[in-house]
Amino acid sequence: MAVASRAPVPLRIGCEPPSVKVDLNGTANVLIDMQNHFCSEGGWVDHVGADYTPDRAPMTARFLRNLGIRSILFTGINTDQGVMYALTGGNFLGYECVLMSDCCATTSPDCTEAVIWNVKKCGGFATGSNAIMAARRAAASQ
What's residue 37's pLDDT? 59
**In sequence order, what are the beta bridge partners of 26?**
none
**Alpha helices for the chain (secondary structure H):** 44-47, 57-66, 84-92, 111-121, 129-140
- Phi-psi region for residue 25, left (φ > 0), alpha (ψ -120 to 50) or beta? alpha
- The single-letter code of the amino acid at 64 is L
pLDDT in tens, 90-123: 999 999 999 999 999 888 878 889 999 999 988 7
The pLDDT of residue 112 is 87
Between CA 98 and CA 46, with CA 53 as vertex, the angle to 5 degrees is 110
CATH of domain 23-128: 3.40.50.850
Domain boundaries of the chain, sorted by first residue: 23-128
CA–CA distance from 136 to each of 11, 73, 123, 132 (Å)?
Answer: 7, 14, 23, 6
Residue 53, pLDDT score: 63
pLDDT value for 26: 93
Which pLDDT does position 119 carry in this prediction?
A: 93
pLDDT in tens, 12-68: 999 987 899 999 999 999 988 756 656 677 776 677 777 766 555 666 788 899 899
